[in-house]
Every structure is written in C-alpha cells, then in structure tokens.
Amino acid sequence: MTTATAVHPRHLQVRGLTKRYGQIEAIKDLSLSLSGGLVGLLGPNGAGKTTLLRMLATVLAPDAGSLRLLGLDPSSPRDRVEIRRNLGYLPQSPDLYSRFTPLELVDYVAVLKEHTHRARRQEEVVRVLTAVGLAGVMHRRIRTLSSGQQQRVALAQALLGDPALLVLDEPATGLDPEQRLELRSLLAAGAARGTVVLSTHNTAEVAALCQRVLVMSEGRILFDGTPAALQERADGMVWEDEVPDPAALRSWMTAEGRYRNLGSPPDGASRCAATLDDGYIIVARRHG
C-alpha cells in the first residue's frame, strides 16, 4: 500500500488549458488560479463552462496545458486517484439510473468512492441524503421523484465524504426557491472546507453565494473578480427611457412599462443603478 499524497484543499491552478472537439476549440489557452472558497462560472451556452468543469472533475483530459487540482497533477495516475478521493462532481446531465432508489444509487457511488466499510458507508449515505432533504423518500425509486428531488440525489452523491473540491455543473437546476436556499447552506459549508466551483445561468445565485465570479465566452475567461466588481462594470451604463434606444447594446421593457437600456447612454439620459445581470451582459456582449 502506498502512502497517501498530500492534498491542499484550496489549491487549484490551470495553465494554458486547451480542449478541442474536432475543429471546434471549446477551451482556448485558459489560465486560472483559485485558492478556495466558492467560485461561480457564468457564461452563455457553448461558452466552455461544462468542458472546463469536466476537466476540473478529472473526467476529461486536456489537449494542452496543465492542471493542478488540490495541489496534485491529474495526469499522474496516483495523483488522480487521490484527487478523486477528495472530489465531488455533479455533471450537467447526471443520468442517474431511475430504477434505483436514492439510497441504492448513493450507496453505489459510495462503493466507487472506496467507502468499503459497510456500516460506515450506510451512515454516510443516509447522512448526505438527509443533508439534501431526501431522508423521507430515500426508499422510493428515483423515477417516481420530482425533477428537483432527482437533482438533489445527484447532489447527494457529490457530497459523499465531505470532499475538499466540489465541481458542480448547474446545481440549482430544477430546485424551487426554498431548495435553492438549502443548497446555498450546503455549498457554503463545502466552501468552508475547501473549494467549490459551480456553473450557473443565475446571477442571483452568484451574488448570494460566490466570493469570486468568472465570466466565460467562446472558451475564454472574459472577467475574473468579485460579484461586486462585475456589477461595477455596468455602472453609468444603464438608463431608462420611454422607448428602446437603437444604439444600446441591449434594451428590454421593464414591469413598469419603461425601457431599460444598456450601453453608452446619450446626454441627459435617466441613468439608474446597475445590477449584476447588467454587469454580466456588458462583459459578455462586449466580447461577443
């Protein structure tokens, strides 16, 4: 038996990462350094978020560049096993076998995660299912559960063993507002232990949870900073009017029947406070 390799829960480094699918370059020479906490990935569909998360989850190897996850190198078989022992991964499409019960499914993943002691494994499985609020339905078949409950089964398997690195691809999909609040508590606990990287389309999640936000588009990182800094990108660039401004980057009608415009405001425009959504749109559209 070899001795365990040292894990650094808050160390994640990416250098010159590139991934291609045929002629399409999904990730382009991407570099990134994280030191723990909760990091949110924002970006339009096809931005490369899922590809990046799959590489951070050691599911996919890069074509070029280097990765250091928890201070270890996933291209080394020994390091990779050690990373996976300390990793929880929620894929974008979990595709859980629907004839299993949540208990059976999470127990199966616990076996793959080397929880070999049966009694302790059972305790851990029940613990994570309880943590995601599924204790009452753990014996029902997954196919009979709501989409939100199915998503929580997938989340439960990722939480097995309180991993130091949590990689979650759109974890809030299908959850109702109350479940989203519970998810925030779980993720905050994960971030206190190590590093949580999640992708989302919901800027409210990012604002509520993340210490750091990355905006991606076409395989590149367009913005890397705090949610407040992202919001500031739109400061002075939002104004309201009775009609849409054709010169604006984006215009839409508000609930009050006025038009909210984003871009370079004309003289005398009625400026208003920017939101995180505005900041995201400014960053994504300027590079789009």
Residue ranges that bind other proteins, judged by CB under 8 A: 21, 51, 54, 57-61, 63, 74-75, 77, 80-81, 84-85, 87, 89-91, 93-97, 99-100, 103-105, 107-109, 111-114, 118, 121-122, 125-126, 139, 154, 157-158, 167
Choice between 78 and 286, CB closer to other proteins: 78
Choice between 86 and 261, CB closer to other proteins: 86
3-state secondary structure of 124: helix
Per-residue burial over 244-262, b = 16 or more CB atoms within 10 Å of its CB, e = otherwise: ebeebbebeeeeeeebbbb
Choice between 165 and 234, CB closer to other proteins: 165
For residue 274, the minimal CB distance to other proteins (Å) is 37
Beta strands 165-169 and 87-90, pairing class: parallel
For residue 109, the minimal CB distance to other proteins (Å) is 5
For residue 202, the minimal CB distance to other proteins (Å) is 22
- Residue 182: φ, ψ to 5°: -65, -40
Choice between 85 and 285, CB closer to other proteins: 85
For residue 32, the minimal CB distance to other proteins (Å) is 19
Is the torsion defined by CA of 161, 162, 168, 172 positive or negative?
A: positive
Choice between 59 and 249, CB closer to other proteins: 59
Query: Which H or E run contains 87?
Result: strand 87-90
Q: At what angle do helices 118-131 and 102-112 cross, to 10 degrees?
A: 120
For residue 89, the minimal CB distance to other proteins (Å) is 4
236: left (phi over 0), alpha (psi -120 to 50) or beta: left
Choice between 89 and 223, CB closer to other proteins: 89
For residue 201, the minimal CB distance to other proteins (Å) is 20
3-state secondary structure of 52: helix
Is the torsion defined by CA of 110, 116, 118, 124 positive or negative?
A: negative
CB neighbours of residue 271 within 10 Å: 14
